Amino acid sequence: MRVLSSRIAALDARRLDAVLAVVILIELEGETWLDHGISNSHRFLTAGVAVLFAASIAHRRRWPAGALVFCSMVAVIQALLGGDLSASDGVLLVPVVLAYSVGSWLDLRRGLVAMVLGVSLFGGFVLLADPNLNSFGEIAADVLFACLLFVGPWFVGRLVRERSHRAVAFGELAVRAAAEHHERERAAIAQERVRIGSELQDIIAHSVSAMVIQAGGARRLLRSDPERARDSILTVEQTGREALADLRRLLGMLRKDDDPRALAPQPGLDQLTTLLDSVRDRGLECELLSEGEPIDLTPGIDLVGYRVIEAALASAAHHRCARAVVSIRYRHGWLEFEIRGHGSIPDLDADLRGMSERVALYSGSLETLPEGGDGFALQARLPLGAAVAA
């Protein structure tokens, strides 16, 4: 039923009206030519008038008031000329459809004018079609029938019109309410970002001040107490990292309003678990292995290591590899990454060309390793001259 309803709704409404007019015309013509009560002299007149009478249905969308008045006028004229259109039961369907159209598509004033004219003319047709009226009661009954024939469908059309207008009004109201809600949300977010930016500025300023103080203290302790100077330098490094992270959040908030990742710092090896989870969601089974004692890495090396692993796993997932193993080895003065997987990657060197340039900036190396069978392997080595022991 839904499929049938959707197909009917997709059809051209004017074509449907034309089809309805043809169906009514066939019914009128059939009864006209098959009714033996119509004289031959009036049969041709009735058959010709039936074409004009039914044709008003086809034009009801363009001229709803005109179609209603026209069909009523045709009915009266043919009755005056001796036609017998009333012999067909389908003659009542046309004014019903047209009265509904007037109520549904015209405003109240124009609709009432069309209804008064239509009822008056069609009422005359009803009276002319029944020559055996002998009493006022019979005449009143026929006039009342003509009125109900028009008023009932017109009232239904008015209800449909009001309901349609109400639905459109509610739809527009919902759109405006959603737009206002979205605008209030944007204003609230903008206000909150201003507040966050002010707080981050204070935090960064405090961090920079602390770094200056710690660096000055370390300079004075370099000769007298090198161990305390080293602790002060480590504190300066940690505070600097935190300040850089806060500064990156601040800049990201100003630079990318719609990207939530802009508020987050650059990733590092401590986020590999999240990376592997996202890759598993793409169908690649991953395992993470670590050898040696982890050490604190400079932000640059930490980021490069993450990007190398990210690019290798992304390439493996893209080529629908089944499994991958990521190994991180902390060596003396070096950090090694090794990624091995089941499944071939034909253009692995091309996929990692950008990563090779990143690794080379830190005096490291990135190379693919020979892997027997259907698999891939690559290894990256980064010097840890800038790293700080934990």
Query: Could you list the pLDDT tens digit for every one of the 390 residues in the chain?
Result: 555 555 555 556 778 878 888 888 887 777 777 765 566 667 777 778 788 888 888 888 888 888 888 888 888 888 788 777 766 767 788 888 888 888 888 888 888 888 888 888 887 777 777 666 666 666 777 677 778 888 888 888 889 888 888 888 888 888 888 888 888 877 876 776 676 667 667 777 777 777 777 778 777 777 777 787 777 777 777 777 777 766 666 666 665 555 544 445 568 888 888 899 888 888 889 999 999 888 888 777 888 889 899 988 988 888 888 889 999 999 888 899 999 988 888 778 777 877 888 888 788 899 888 766 678 888 999 988 644 333
Pick among 1.20.1250.20, 3.30.565.10, 3.50.50.60, 3.40.50.1980: CATH of 269-383: 3.30.565.10
**In degrees to the nearest 10, what's the CA dihedral of 74, 79, 85, 87?**
160
Phi/psi of residue 389, nearest 5 degrees: -65, 145
Q: What is the pLDDT of residue 5?
A: 54
Q: Smallest Cα–Cα separation from 48: which of 19, 18, 66, 28?
A: 28
Q: What is the pLDDT of residue 388?
A: 39
Which uninterrupted H or E stretch holds 202?
Answer: helix 136-221
Q: Which residues contact 380 (CB under 8 A, 6 or more apart)?
A: 305, 308, 336, 337, 338, 355, 359, 364, 365, 366, 367
**Exposed e or buried b for every residue in 167-186, given b needs 16+ CB within 10 A?**
eeeeeeeeeeeeeeeeeeee
Task: For residues 27 and 71, give the distance between their C-alpha atoms in angstroms, rounded to a whole number.
Answer: 16
DSSP state of 89: G
How many other C-beta atoms are found inside a 10 Å radius of the C-beta of residue 156?
Answer: 15
Q: Smallest Cα–Cα separation from 305: which of 369, 264, 361?
A: 361
Q: What is the pLDDT of residue 196?
A: 64
Q: What is the pLDDT of residue 190?
A: 74
Q: Smallest Cα–Cα separation from 71: which of 59, 84, 83, 87?
A: 59
DSSP state of 356: H
| Cβ–Cβ < 8 Å for 290, 279 | no
DSSP state of 352: T
Q: What is the pLDDT of residues 310-355, one digit of tens each?
A: 988 988 888 888 889 999 999 888 899 999 988 888 778 777 877 8
| Cβ–Cβ < 8 Å for 20, 97 | yes
The three-state (H, E, C) secondary structure of 112-134, written as one string: HHHHHHHHHHHHHHHHHHCCCCC
User: Which string of DSSP letters, residue by residue, matches 265-287?
Assistant: PPP-GGGHHHHHHHHHHTT-EEE
Say whether 323 sits in a helix, a strand or coil. strand
Which uninterrupted H or E stretch holds 359?
Answer: helix 353-361
pTM for this prediction: 0.45
